[in-house]
Amino acid sequence: MIKSELVLKIAEQNPHLYQRDVEKIVNAILDTIADALARGDRVELRGFGAFSVKKRDARTGRNPRTGEAVSISEKVVPVFKTGKEMRQRLNAPAPKVLKAAAAQ
């Protein structure tokens, strides 16, 4: 699902809201998360997961084409860890109807 599909789905579930307002809300949420990560903060959404940043130290890598050593500077990368409820939803046993259809 991409952001525009998310906006459409939320707008369908909330017919009292205009799609442009839903888009502003989604953008505001994502911008707030991105700003917090840029400051080095952790963002936790209970039941969904936690966004944080991790520092990767500078290292020496290699160019896969030539095999030449290349220095890679340190960087900060975003990290997402799923919450307990999300892991349980993703690993829930499949309904029996789907299992029977898959066996055929």
pTM: 0.75
Cα 9 to the center of its chain, rounded Å: 17
Per the structure, the complete domain to which residue 68 belongs is given by 3-86
77: CATH: 4.10.520.10
- Give the pLDDT confidence score for residue 93 in this predicted structure: 83
Within a domain: 93: no
pLDDT tops 70 at residue 100: no
Within a domain: 17: yes
Nearest residue to 47 via CA among 18, 87, 17, 20: 87
Return d(Cα 81, Cα 32) in angstroms, integer: 18
Within a domain: 101: no
The total of structural domains in the chain comes to 1
pLDDT tops 80 at residue 97: no
pLDDT tops 70 at residue 101: no
Contact 26, 3 (CB under 8 A): yes
Within a domain: 94: no
Task: Encode pLDDT of 45-94 as tens digits.
Answer: 999 999 999 999 999 999 999 999 999 999 999 999 999 999 999 998 87
Within a domain: 42: yes
pLDDT tops 80 at residue 42: yes
